[in-house]
Amino acid sequence: MRTALVVLRKDLLLELRTLESLPAMALFSLSTYVIFHFGLNRGKLDGELAAGVLLVTLLFAAVLGINRLFVAEREQGGLDAFLLAPVDRTSLLLAKAAALFVFLAVLEAFAIPAFGFFLLGPSIGPPLLRLYGVMLLLDVGLAVVGTLVSAIAVQTRARDLIVPLLALPLLVPALIATARCTSPLLLTGGPAAIPFKWLGVLLLYDAVFGLIAYAVFDFLLED
């Protein structure tokens, strides 16, 4: 855990100094909202359509962060040094997944209110707070799967192509569950109750992929 905290601190400080990932992710989200706003030619979205637009936007913004998750280690030799160090390699998984989770949480703190402003109308209230809570559960799965995929893709030349090709199919169950959880919160007549069945599916997804990542990450680094 101490090693994971050291790597996490390094990643967060590096992002604060360079601002390579978060500004790009935020700008991408804002640009996508503007495109949807004018492309759909509707002043206000609701229900499943609103949930779909939000999830698609945040998913592809997350891909930008996943692409760069291991780039610094690969370019500066940090990955090889970590493999030679006498530390538990799973700590790198914890650190990178935690860093990606922080990036996604910060992104959504900006992107969800912007989504409400551009596509839900002028009222931003409690439904968006509950929406943010559901998205944090999705972020756990995104962080774990994104870390695994990024660790694979960083070893290849076509990193920008490999990440979406591997990550998107793996994230389909989580996206379906999140869409079913968020669409009741975005109804025009007022928010409805979150279906606990789909919330349970999302929690199960996070648990299953967390265990899978813990089991295979050590072997993944060696290969």
In this predicted structure, the answer to whether residue 120 has a pLDDT above a threshold of 90 is no
Residue type, 166: L
Please say whether the beta carbons of 214 and 93 come within 8 A: yes
Q: Hey, what amino acid is at 48? A: E
Taken in order 114, 119, 123, 127, the sign of the CA dihedral is negative
Residue 17 lies in a domain: no
Q: Is 188 within a domain?
A: yes
Q: For the chain, how many structural domains are there in total? A: 1
**Average per-residue pLDDT for the chain:** 83
Is 202 a member of any domain?
yes
pTM for this predicted structure: 0.88
Residue 77 in domain: yes
Structure-model confidence comparison of residues 47 and 84, the more confident one: 47
Asked if residue 70 is part of any domain, the answer here is yes
| DSSP designation for 194 | P
Q: How many CB atoms lie within 10 A of CB 179?
A: 17
Q: Helix and strand tally (H, E) in the chain?
A: 9, 0
CA atoms within 13 A on the CB side of 35: 10
**Distance between alpha carbon 215 and the CA centroid of its chain, in Å?**
21
Other Cβ atoms within 10 Å of 131 Cβ, number: 25
28 vs 191, residue with greater confidence: 28
In this structure, are residues 41 and 13 in contact, taking their beta carbons and an 8 Å threshold?
Answer: no
pLDDT tens for 2-48 read 777 887 888 888 888 888 888 999 999 999 988 888 888 776 777 88
Share of the chain above pLDDT 70, in %: 88
Residue range of the domain that includes 41: 2-8+22-222
**Listed residue (148, 143, 145, 119) closest to 131, CA to CA:** 119
Question: Does 53 map to a domain?
Answer: yes
User: Would residue 147 count as lying in a domain?
Assistant: yes
How far apart (Å, rounded) are the C-alpha atoms in residues 147 and 95?
10
Q: Provide the pLDDT confidence category of residue 214 given band limits of 50, 70 and 90.
A: confident
**pLDDT given at position 80:** 62
Residue from 71, 42, 46 nearest 156 by CA: 71
Identify which of 175, 146, 149 has the alpha carbon closest to the alpha carbon of residue 53: 175
Phi, psi of 124 (to 5 degrees): -125, 115
Q: Which strand (E) or helix (H) includes residue 18?
A: helix 2-18
3-state secondary structure of 104: helix
The pLDDT, as a whole number, for residue 217 is 80
**What is the C-alpha to C-alpha distance for residues 191 and 171, in angstroms, rounded to an integer?**
26
- Highest mean pLDDT: which of 43-52, 84-93, 203-212? 203-212
* CA pair distance 24, 65, nearest whole angstrom: 9
Residue 15 lies in a domain: no
